[in-house]
Amino acid sequence: MLLKDREYEVDVVDIGQGGVGIGKHDGFTVFVDGGLISDKLKVKITKSKKNYAVGEIVEIIEKSPFRVERVCSDKLSDCGGCQIQELDYQKQLDIKTNEVKQTISRIGKLNDTLVHPTLGMENPFRYRNKAQFPIQKIDGKTVIGFYKKKSHDVIPTDKCIIQHDVNDKIIKIIKTYIKAYNVSIYDEKTHTGVLRHLVTKVGFETKEVMVVLVANGKKLPYLNELASVLKENVPGFKTLVLNTNREKTNVILGKENKVIYGDGKINDYIGDLVFEISPLSFFQVNPSQTEVLYNKALEYADLKENDTVFDIYCGIGTISLFLAQKAKKVYGVEIVGDAIKDAKINAELNKLENTEFFVGKAEEVVPKLYKEGKTANVVVVDPPRKGCEESVLDTIVSMEPDKVVYVSCNPSTLARDLAYLDERGYKCKEIQPVDMFPHTMHVESVALLCRD
């Protein structure tokens, strides 16, 4: 056991969840925020437990060969976004591949499954098409930026190297607007004040820009004037929306939108497909890697013109429409009603008439549709982080599709669900990790399962 407030030499041997370095001192585990694989560190212990300790870096004794210079400002080193930006990008990809392999083996007990190297980006910067900036008053000064790690204190951010560069201009304009019109800023501790967040969405292909101001109320001053300034100074600016969120919550967007300028929507493409995006629409934040992910799902599905597909947890129909280009029929299921409305609009936009969408919980709707006689020979699932409900997996097994394509944002629940399906006759042939979120520890995967 290591002593609190004492300093020790620690060798970092791995990186855990949240990008925390996993170090060893004489075999004892020490978690060190900011530690990278192969760093030798002098660490001061801040928390000491029987089986582990937590420490902070006092000195880097020997730099890891994988440690690289930060691209963004050192002032943003406490930002909770890019957990492993200082790690060589190829090493980031290797870690993510290894994370999927180890998790599939440890939790799923699937030791023979082929896990391919993670597919990364040629340029892993400025890749996000959506930004959410909290706004705060700190010492009387308005601050727009991102939350500091493990807090709700905002770090000022003039530019972010993973967000689209149009945000740099928008932040400056919003700051000027706030100052010029003495706009009231929300205080989450007292639930007073008005302006809470700035949200932006950008079409990477169309170059269309949406600006959303989230307010603790239905009014903000001089929004028409703000729209004029945005139109004059932001290339591609298409719409300004006021979103009302009066709740005491960490959820950023409320349900009520008022369009100030434009039509409240932008469009963007994934491959040849066009998608309509509203303030509340879910749309993958990395469009170039989304195309990589979906093309891999399409490759694994290997659809023929007479195939019928179930797309479970279909969202706004992005994967459904990719599949519909090849299949005879695609059924999409999603719990969020607004997402299904968007899915139907997107099907019409792309003139794909072989889709049908259903609203409801997957664990209720999928068994119901199956009982009604709707079945499929290919099933695609893209569940939330918690994975699939057993009733969904049981219905899939009952349908006896030839193939199941599982798109996952969480290796742990993927491993659990693959093991469940493996016991019921569906063997995982291969898994392709895809790096949707460079400089973070998150990894997406696509798995192909076939019936024995």
Domain closes at, from 210, 245, 270: 270
User: Per the domain annotation, does 277 fall within a domain?
Assistant: no
Edge-to-edge strand order for the sheet containing 195-202?
Answer: 154-156, 141-147, 130-138, 195-202, 209-215, 237-244, 256-261
CA distance 223 to 191: 22
Let me know: does 105 contact 431? Beta carbons within 8 Å.
Answer: no
Query: Which range of residues forms the domain containing residue 238?
Result: 130-270
Angle at 320 between CA 315 and CA 326, to 5 degrees: 170
Domain closes at, from 235, 270, 305: 270
| CATH number of the domain bearing residue 153 | 2.40.50.1070
Domain closes at, from 244, 270, 296: 270
Looking at the fold, whether 426 and 344 belong to one and the same domain comes out as yes
- Give me the mean pLDDT over the 113-135 stretch: 97
Looking at the fold, whether 37 and 56 belong to one and the same domain comes out as yes
Cβ-based burial of 155 (10 A; exposed 0-12, middle 13-18, buried ≥19): buried
Looking at the fold, whether 135 and 113 belong to one and the same domain comes out as no
User: Which tens digits make up the pLDDT trace of 30-61?
Assistant: 999 999 999 999 999 999 999 999 999 999 99
Looking at the fold, whether 155 and 202 belong to one and the same domain comes out as yes
Looking at the fold, whether 297 and 247 belong to one and the same domain comes out as no
User: Per the domain annotation, does 82 fall within a domain?
Assistant: no
Looking at the fold, whether 413 and 291 belong to one and the same domain comes out as yes
Instruction: Write down the pTM of the prediction.
Output: 0.92
User: Per the domain annotation, does 32 fall within a domain?
Assistant: yes
**pLDDT at 338 > cutoff 90:** no
pLDDT of residue 408: 97
User: Which tens digits make up the pLDDT trace of 252-292?
Assistant: 999 999 999 999 999 999 999 999 999 988 889 999 999 99
**pLDDT at 327 > cutoff 90:** yes
Let me know: does 407 contact 418? Beta carbons within 8 Å.
Answer: no
pLDDT of residue 279: 93
- In which band, very low, low, confident or very high, does the pLDDT at 82 lie, cut at 50, 70 and 90? confident
Let me know: does 68 contact 90? Beta carbons within 8 Å.
Answer: no
Looking at the fold, whether 290 and 161 belong to one and the same domain comes out as no
Domain count, the chain: 3
User: Per the domain annotation, does 258 fall within a domain?
Assistant: yes
Looking at the fold, whether 314 and 215 belong to one and the same domain comes out as no
User: Per the domain annotation, does 171 fall within a domain?
Assistant: yes
Angle at 214 between CA 85 and CA 228, to 5 degrees: 95
Looking at the fold, whether 17 and 52 belong to one and the same domain comes out as yes
| CATH number of the domain bearing residue 13 | 2.40.50.140
| CATH number of the domain bearing residue 370 | 3.40.50.150
User: Which tens digits make up the pLDDT trace of 343-379?
Assistant: 999 999 999 999 999 999 988 998 899 899 998 999 9
pLDDT of residue 380: 97
User: Per the domain annotation, does 78 fall within a domain?
Assistant: no
- In which band, very low, low, confident or very high, does the pLDDT at 386 lie, cut at 50, 70 and 90? very high
Question: Which residues are part of a known binding site?
Answer: 284, 313, 334, 382
User: Which tens digits make up the pLDDT trace of 143-161?
Assistant: 999 998 878 889 998 889 9
Pair of tokens at residue 138: 């700190």
User: Per the domain annotation, does 83 fall within a domain?
Assistant: no
Looking at the fold, whether 347 and 439 belong to one and the same domain comes out as yes
pLDDT of residue 255: 92
User: Which tens digits make up the pLDDT trace of 97-109?
Assistant: 999 999 999 999 9
Looking at the fold, whether 116 and 159 belong to one and the same domain comes out as no
Question: Which residues are part of a known binding site for S-adenosyl-L-methionine?
Answer: 284, 313, 334, 382
Catalytic residues: 409
User: Per the domain annotation, does 251 fall within a domain?
Assistant: yes
Looking at the fold, whether 189 and 214 belong to one and the same domain comes out as yes
